[in-house]
Chains A and B, each alone.
Chain A
């Protein structure tokens, strides 16, 4: 079953918490991964792979650079999930 926007944000929050140690409540739609959440370009690769597994989506390397904020990633997953 496709995940809702809230489920995706909650899931991303858990992933970011696991990878970068950021408190889950800090992970909000408007937050930038690199500027606000201490997720650098390599951690972002880890976040993406974890999100792919969790939400059953494929996020090619070329699309990763467009996912600047939690909102961008959430929208991408909503639109591409199987």
Chain B
């Protein structure tokens, strides 16, 4: 039998840089209230959200990604041509073929990297990060770019009072590259397909094309079932990721959960019994739920404001439609 040479990669991988893009238009709760019977007080108390960003027609999935990724590349100190893989996680890019990743890769001036899109809802960042880490360690890419990007305003039913206030738009990106020390822990991830109906697009594109639903498809969810799952099941997954990385809550500096709802975040912090010194990302207040973009966006903001610093140990966990989840411990860039 002929002998196949094994691939040769780095010993470990790390996040080298992070970047984000928030659309220019800031949308306060007052604007949401034009279409639903609710109140600013109700929205704040149930979700912690006071404003979110909505993209303009020019702030496309591609344009926002290029902005966020450009910052991440600059932050990492490498050149765009060195990137060997571009992974884009999104559920709100409305053209299935070709993958938007190739266009983004081209606009960034990356050369000819492997480029593809993934769909893992609000766990998309963790899924992409895990793939990127595997590539760097395997050697199939020396540097890999992970982008989470959403225009969820395109998938929002502004007349649905249980979701109209939740979602926002934006992009977040990280560059993953070789490291001398472990800087991305084991990923605890999975799916619960038996709960696939709890968060979903109302109707398929096919049904819409055939004129069955009159309304454009939008995101819908069983709010309390999702809340229960997120708060209790995901706290267990977060704990497993800490255990897998051999990190105690005391050693943790930062907690960056998917920014779905402040109430979920607060409740997870309690369930996990995180000590006072742990900085908790609460970006949802001014960003809303941006699905795959939420974790890198929150990470960028914590580093920009100085609430977190390079070298800090952070627990990240994403969870959402699928249902899917992914949690890991990382060293911040």
State the A residues within 8 Å of B (CB): 40-42, 45-46, 48-49, 61, 64
Determine the interface band of chain B, counting residues with CB < 8 A from chain A. 10 to 19
Q: Which residues of B contact A61 (CB under 8 A)?
A: 222, 224-225, 228
Q: Which residues of A contact B224 (CB under 8 A)?
A: 41-42, 45, 61, 64
Q: Which residues of A contact B232 (CB under 8 A)?
A: 49
A43 to chain B: closest residue by CB: B263
Q: Are B225 and A46 in contact, with the CB atoms below 8 A? A: no
Q: Are A42 and B225 in contact, with the CB atoms below 8 A? A: no
A-B contact pairs, 23 of them (CB 8 A): A40-B45, A40-B46, A41-B46, A41-B224, A42-B46, A42-B224, A42-B227, A42-B263, A45-B224, A45-B227, A45-B228, A45-B231, A46-B231, A46-B267, A48-B228, A49-B228, A49-B231, A49-B232, A61-B222, A61-B224, A61-B225, A61-B228, A64-B224
Q: Tell me whether chain A's interface is mostly helix, strand or loop, or mixed.
A: helix
What's the nearest-Cβ distance from chain B to residue A31, in Å? 20
Q: Give 1 or 0 for each of B95-137: 1 = CB within 8 Å of chain A CB.
A: 0000000000000000000000000000000000000000000
Q: What CA separation (Å) do A41 and B231 show in the bound complex?
A: 14
For residues 220 through 277 of chain B, which have their beta carbon under 8 Å from a beta carbon of chain A? 222, 224-225, 227-228, 231-232, 263, 267
Q: Which residues of A contact B222 (CB under 8 A)?
A: 61
Q: What CA separation (Å) do A46 and B266 show in the bound complex?
A: 12
